[in-house]
Chain A
Amino acid sequence: MRFAFTEQQTEFRDAVRQVLTKVCTPDALRAAFDTPAARTERWTTLAEMGVVGLTVPEPQGGLGLDLLDLVPLLEEAGRSALPEPLIETTALAAPLLAAFESGQAVDWLERIASGEVTAAVAPVDVISRSVGSTAGEAAVPAAVGADLYILSSASGVHAVPSTDVTVTPVPSLDPTRRLGTIDWEPTTTTLIASGEDAREALAHLADRASVATAAELLGLADRMISIAAAYAKERNQFGKPIGSFQAVKHLLAGAQVKLEFARPAVYGAAWSLGQVELAGSPSGSRGASLAKAYASDAATEAARVSLQVHGAIGYTWECDLHLYLKRAWALAESWGSSADHRSRILASLVDELHQTQS
């Protein structure tokens, strides 16, 4: 057993952190809130570093790596609240296209690796593993201004160019989510998978999205806790830093403990999804659900306590904290809430129990 990242993986993570610290500052986030865009200079920079094409096969100009390699980078994206769609494009769309070797998939992969296109992926309900939810068609993240849309219909999974869709923006608390509803007609030219292939692809998609989103939530939680810890050290009341009071310490410590235990859950799940015998298995899916539920809870707890530690200043538009809070709240409910995932885990455990008994 070697449950750790390689030196190469941590070095790549450090390099991405260094770049994002410069190009994804709170000021840059504010600009993105004002004018959300799918492709930016930042995206080009990340493409040049190989981040965007990380999961694109080498023949198509990518690095040919997998979700496990991407997870530390997604954590960095979360830490900086990167507004661009790394989850949708690199964690979801590229591996899905790479699994189906059609001519158009190859073309899309090349354009993803070069940083020319960003993707939007219609959410799959993690419980039913079908498109949308029982509450109705969910708005699609990263939809406004995307170049490629991964959509599903009764006929299968489609890779649809922006020319074939009409996107109606849906306002979000976090404008960089670029939510939209999508009007489109499935055609045979856009179809990349059908039948059992499509069902399997959607099941994998739900698990991969859960883990990728969980990774971003880890970074967000870490960032919110460190912003609040820094503030608790410098803000004085009653003649001393508020961080010296136990009531404040215990809030932040509680969030930190949740985060510490969410990390290995996410890493373990990412590893499992890369194993042929585990990906899509009940145990692999439970791992993905554990990762998402734990990371969501860690991030929402970090959001709540970091705001509380700031007091009134944290409740202002001026304080940078809200830029991270809003992303955390959005991602926590995206690709299954922690309650959804708990429910999925329990159903799976009971199924397994009945199978071993019969």
Chain B
Amino acid sequence: MNNTTDGAMDLRFTPAQEEFRAEARHWLAANSPAPGSLPSLDTPHGFEAHRAWEQTMFADRWSVVSWPEEFGGRDVGILEWLIFEEEYWRIQAPVRVSQNGVFLLAPTMFEFGTDAQKARFLPPMASGEEIWCQGWSEPDAGSDLAGIRSRAERAPDDDGWLLTGQKTWASRGAYAEWCFGLFRTDPDAQRHRGLTYFLMAMDSPGVTVRPIPQIDGEPGFAEIFFDSVFVPDSQVLGGVGQGWSVAMATAGSERGLSLRSPARYTEAVSRLVSLYAERLDRDPARAARSADAVAQAWMDAEAYRLNTYWTACRVLAGGTVGPEASANKIHWSETDLAIYRAALGLLGPEAELTGGGGVAGNPWLDGFLFALAGPIYAGTNEIQRNVVAERLLGLPRA
């Protein structure tokens, strides 16, 4: 890595970084499936097609560029990861079916996992051989995640735990091989205490999965029922009873830098501007009415890009991302929505058309439905505003 960490401000990339970009661009151009050519990853067929793409990337060490080489990565820094993402989204490569594992669990495992856990779980996660879903929410624990009731008791042979309870809204839950989540190991402890972070095989006896069709009709998430599911001690991540602080590291990743690279938005707004230009020729009056919204969406994406690089440089200089992650989550989720709402406004009466092949037949509509989930998952934006007010502005808790 050639990052300058002192000296004057300079927003240009180093020659080494540009070389890395060129290499990524070249490889993606040669290997990435054509945009939109894979079936939805929420269908059984589409899930396997996306898994195959992960395997293709892994074979040439492009699936997890920021990871250490021993786990299949290239050991590059955060700026290189952002460069890779720019190229990935520029060419409109497929959505990452492994993202729950790669972007949410992996950072936690690097921080809290044992060497044996890293060796066991990270390589198949990187290759797509094992896809992960997350078991956070429960019917009575959504925004109030500390209200988790699913419990774990010591197994009779004292070599592990028996998990009982219900998780819900588990993205990729319908097809995933593995699940990570929080269970209450101390029934007497309240709220954030007495929780433990577990790694569960979805084919364990006692696991029942019930897929839940999402708003687009596809089973994008699932309910998972646990009935005395045995999980060995080797699949506890972090200490017993430490689950909350371990999980919050993952939540920080989901809200903050690692899941949402700016490239997906800068790429989407560039397509939005093309749509605007096309409509400007065909229906100038309607286009003019949407002009302000299109420009605002472009600005929101560009401001997000600049803020991401600003934050990345702060992290490289030794800074940390705390409550700023909440501001970040609010911004990217609202940006995503702003982009697709502007597009639907340009499309007018065409906005609702699916072409008969399901929502995916209208990428703008599909993107709009996807964007609507953003302000809800990873902690609703209302919860994030509380965090910003309390931790950035010092306002008192209720």
Q: How many A-B residue pairs have CB under 8 A?
A: 161
- Is B273 in contact with A349, judged by CB distance below 8 angstroms? yes
Given contacts A244-B398, A261-B303, A265-B303, contact A1 B295 (CB under 8 A): no
**Using Cβ atoms and an 8 Å threshold, which residues of chain A touch B302?**
265, 286, 290
**B interface SS class:** helix
- Is B303 in contact with A271, judged by CB distance below 8 angstroms? no
A30 part of interface (Cβ distance < 8 Å): no
Q: Which of A212-266 contact B (CB under 8 A)?
A: 225-226, 229, 232-233, 240-241, 243-246, 248-250, 252-254, 256-257, 260-265
**Using Cβ atoms and an 8 Å threshold, which residues of chain B touch A272?**
11
- Is A260 in contact with B307, judged by CB distance below 8 angstroms? yes
Return the contact of B313 from the options A3, A6, A349 (Cβ within 8 A): A3
Minimal beta-carbon separation of B251 from chain A (angstroms): 18
Chain A, interface residues (CB within 8 Å), range: 35 or more
Q: How far is the CA of A339 from the CA of B7 in the complex (A)?
A: 36
**Using Cβ atoms and an 8 Å threshold, which residues of chain B touch A345?**
295, 298-299
In the complex formed, the residue of A with least CB distance to B292 is A342
Q: How far is the CA of A312 from the CA of B298 in the complex (A)?
A: 37
Q: How far is the CA of A339 from the CA of B291 in the complex (A)?
A: 10
- Is B9 in contact with A261, judged by CB distance below 8 angstroms? no
Minimal beta-carbon separation of B280 from chain A (angstroms): 7
**A interface SS class:** helix
- Is A261 in contact with B277, judged by CB distance below 8 angstroms? no
Given contacts A1-B11, A267-B310, contact A246 B396 (CB under 8 A): no
- Is A350 in contact with B292, judged by CB distance below 8 angstroms? no
A293 part of interface (Cβ distance < 8 Å): yes
- Is A294 in contact with B303, judged by CB distance below 8 angstroms? yes
- Is B393 in contact with A354, judged by CB distance below 8 angstroms? no
Known: A1-B10, A353-B274. 17 other contacts (CB 8 A): A1-B11, A1-B13, A1-B14, A2-B8, A3-B312, A3-B313, A245-B398, A246-B385, A249-B390, A253-B386, A257-B331, A264-B306, A290-B303, A346-B273, A346-B294, A346-B298, A353-B277
User: Which residues of B does A touch, CB under 8 Å?
Assistant: 3-14, 17, 79, 273-274, 276-277, 280, 291-292, 294-296, 298-299, 302-304, 306-307, 309-310, 312-314, 317, 324, 327, 330-331, 382, 384-386, 388-390, 392-398
**CB<8 Å pairs between A and B, sample of 5:** A3-B310, A250-B382, A260-B324, A343-B291, A346-B276
User: Which residues of A does B touch, CB under 8 Å?
Assistant: 1-6, 68, 225-226, 229, 232-233, 240-241, 243-246, 248-250, 252-254, 256-257, 260-265, 267-268, 271-272, 286, 290, 293-294, 339, 342-343, 345-346, 349-350, 353-354
